[in-house]
Structure 1
Amino acid sequence: MLLRTIDVRGRQLDYRRVIPRADFDVDHAVDVVAPICHAVAERGEDALREFAERFDGVVPENLRVPADVLRRCADELDPTVRAAFEESIRRRRAVAVIEKRPELNRVEVAPGAFVEQRIIPVARVGLYVPGGLAPLASSVVMNVIPAQVAGVGSLAVASPPQKDFGGLPHPNILGLCHLLGVDEVYAVGGAQAIAMFAYGVEGLCEPVDMVTGPGNIYVVGAKRHLRGVVGIDSEAGPTEIAILADDSANPEFVAADLLSQAEHDPMAGSVLVTDSSQLAEAVDAALARRVAETKHADRVRTALTGNQSGIVLVDDVEQGIAVVDAYAAEHLEIQTRNAYEVAQRITNAGAIFVGSYAPVSLGDYSAGSTHVLPTAGAARYSSGLNVSSFYKAVHVINYSESALLDLASTVETFALAEDLPGHAAAVTVRRPRGEAR
C-alpha cells in the first residue's frame, strides 16, 4: 500500500490535526512571537492565562466572556454612544450589502462542458480587536459586518483583558459585540490571541479558518508566523494619512486631519502634498497650536516629527497626483478644487476622502465604508477589508463523456509537452477501448 490510511469514521475531532499535510518550516517566523504561539498550541488555556498576566497585568476570570456580561455592557452603554454605534452599524451594513458578489456563475465552454464558479463564505473567522492605546470598538463594526453579510457561519472576537475592567475587554467592545449578535468573545490579546484562533484551544475555542483585524507589531508578527496554518487579512503596519491639497484648502481642516492620524500611534504617518507654500506654512502653524492643546500631545508630536511624516511640496496638482499614487496611502484626502474629478484619477489608495467635508475620522466610524485598509504602500496591489475578503471562489468542473472526448487530444498533447505522461494517461484511459490518440 503506497498511501497510509487515516480513519476518522465515527470520531469527533479536529480534523486539521490528523489529515495528511507536508511539514513546512516558517523560516521568517518572528522570534518574539513564535514561542508564544507554540505555547498556546501546546498548553492552551494555561498559556493564555500566563500571557494575560505577563502582558496585560490581569488574569480574566473567564477567558470567554459570558453572554450575560455582553448583554449587560450593551444595556449600560451611554445612550448617545449606543446611538452612535447603531448608526455606524446601519451604514456599514448598507454599504456591505452592495459589496456582495453573486453566489453562482456558470459558463458552457463547449457542448456538455460546464464550469461553475461558486462563491463560498469562509466557515469560521476570528476577529481581533486591539485594546492598547485606544479601545477600538469601531474595529468590531468594520470586521463583523462584512463577515456577516458574506454569510460567515461562525464568528469569534478576541480583545485584550483590561485591568480597569476586572480582566474583561473594554465594555464598549463587549456591548457592541452584543448589538451585532456576536456571543463568542474572548478576553485574550496579542500574539496569543492569534495563536488561539489558529490552533484552537481544547475546551475553550475551536480553531478558525481566517483571522482578521488590526493590531500591534506582535499581532502582525503572529499573523506572519501562522500564515498557512490560518488565513489572514493582511499584515497591517502603522496607520497613515496623505492629504493632497491646493491653495483652496482650509489650513485648519488640513491640520486637524493630519493630527487625527498622528493621535493613533507614535509611528503613525501624516503627509501633506501641496503646491501651495502658503498653505504649507499655515498648516504648520495650525498644527503647532493644536498639538499644544491636544490630549495626547506627546504621542502626536512624536508621530508628526518622525521620519514618517512631513510636507511634500509639488509643482502643481498634476505632480501631486503622481506623488500620492506613488505613496499609496492607507487614507488619502483630496482637498483641492474639483476634488471629485481629481479623486477619479487616483489609482493607489486604501480609501479616498473627497473634499473638505470628508475627513478620515468620518470613515473611521460612520461613513459606511471600511476602515480596515492596506498600509505601507500595499494599496498598490490590495484592498481594504470588505465582504469579498470573506469569500473563496471554487470552480466546479462538470464535463460529459462526449465533452471530454472532444477535448482529449488537446489535453493529452499538453500533458506530454510538459513531460507528464501520467496526466495524459488519465485522459487516455477514458477513451473507448481501441480508440487511438
Structure 2
Amino acid sequence: MFDRLLIANRGEIAVRVIRTAKRLGIRTVAVFSDADAAARHVEEADEAVRIGPPPVARSYLDMDAVLAAASACGADAVHPGYGFLSENAEFARRVQAAGMTWVGPDPDHIARMGDKIEARNLMASHGVPVSRGTPRPPGDAAAAQAEAARIGYPLMVKAASGGGGIGMTIIRDAADLGPAFQAARTRAERMFGSPDVLLEQYIEPARHIEVQILGLGDGRVLTLGERDCSIQRRFQKVIEETPAPGISAELRRRMLDVSRRAGEALGYRGAGTLEYLVDPRTEEFVFLEMNTRLQVEHPVTELVTGMDLVEAQLLVAAREDAGLTEPSRRDHAIELRIYAEDPVRMFPSPGRIEQWKEPAGEHIRVDTGYRTGDEVTPHYDPLLAKLCTAAATREAAIESARRAVDDFTVTGIKTNLPLLRRVLDSEAFRSGTFDTKTLETARPR
C-alpha cells in the first residue's frame, strides 16, 4: 500500500478520500488554490501544497502545478476524486510517467470512454444496447440535418467530449437543429477543447439509471448494484438512490449482466459507472456514457453494501485487491445534493456561511467540505454537501431524509434545501414513478 497519497481535488471529495486514506495509515497531501487556503480539506490533510490562484485553469486544472506538488512532497500515488482532472487521460499518463501510481483506470480506457462517439461504438460492439445516433461527428449543419432525419425527433445534441450533463440540448423540430448544432459546436470547443458533437435519439419519458462496477486485477468485474439518478436539473443530478424504485427484477438483472460483460470485455480495472436511459413503459435501456472515476453519488452504494469504494480503489491501484468480492446488498439509501443556489432559479449563491448545523442520527451521513464561517466562492461548483440516509425500506429512508433536511441549517447563503423538501414530499417521488423531468414540476415558481 502507498505511503503518501496526493489528492488532486478539493471540497467534500478531498475530505472523503483523506479520511479513508488515514484509516489505512496512508499519509495524505492536499492541494489548494488561494481561494481554498483555509478550506477543510487543507486542514484535515497531513500536509498541503499551494498550486495557484483561484481560477481552475490556473490551479486544479493545471497539470504542471499538480504534478510539481506531487513531486515536491514525495507522493507515490495520486487520487483524482471526481471532476477536474479525474477523466483526463493525459494527466493519468503523466502521473504514471513520473513514477507515481494513478488511482484510477488505465489511461487508454479514460481516453476511449471520454469520447462519447467512440464509447457508444465500442459498447455496441460488446453487446451493450445503444440508441440511434451518429457513428461519427457530423462535419457541418447539412450533415447534421441528414443524420437527424435518419435518427428522428426528438433528439439530443451533445458534446462528444463532454461529461456530467454539460453541453446537452434537446431538439424537437428540424427548424431548430441548424442554430442548435452550431451553438453546440461553439460551446463544445470552448468548454472541452473540441468542437465535435453527436446526435442521439432522445427518450422521453426516461429514467436515468447507472450501474457501479469495480474491475479487479484478475479479470473479474464486480457489479455493486444500480442507482437511480433521474431527479435532475439541467441534466445534472440532484437526488440519487439505490436500489432503483419501480423497475423489475428482470430489468435489474439485465443491466447488471450487460455492465459486467462490458467491463470484462474492456479488461477494466478500478471503479467505473455505466449510465443508461431507461424507457419506463417498455423497460428497454440504452447506453448513455461511462464515467471512468468515482461518482459523486457513491455513498449510497457504500451504505447498502458496506463497502468503502475509496478503499477499494486504493486496493486495486496497489494490486492488493485479491480479497475483494461482490458484497450482499441490504437496505435502501438516498442521497440529496445540497447546493449553494437559489431554489427557484437555480443560480449559484456564493457568500459566507454564517451558520452550518448538520443533522445527526443513526444511518445519516453527511459528506462535506464546509463549516460555519467558510466562504463559498464563485470559482467552483456550488455543491455544499451530500446528505445521505439509509433504512430497511424506501419509505423509511424517505422519512429519514425528510427529517434530516428539516434539521440541516445553513444561513448566510441560499441553498436548494426548500426544493429538496418539495421533491421528497411530491407524490411522483414517493410513488417511485418519477422521470428525468419530474424536478421541473416540483420547482417552486
Instruction: Give the TM-score normalised by structure 1.
Output: 0.33
Greater strand fraction, Structure 1 or Structure 2: 2
Using CA pairs under 8 Å that are at least 6 residues apart, name the structure with larger relative contact order, 1 or 2: 1
Which of these two proteins has the greater Rg computed from alpha carbons?
1
Q: Report the TM-score, using the length of structure 2 for normalisation.
A: 0.32
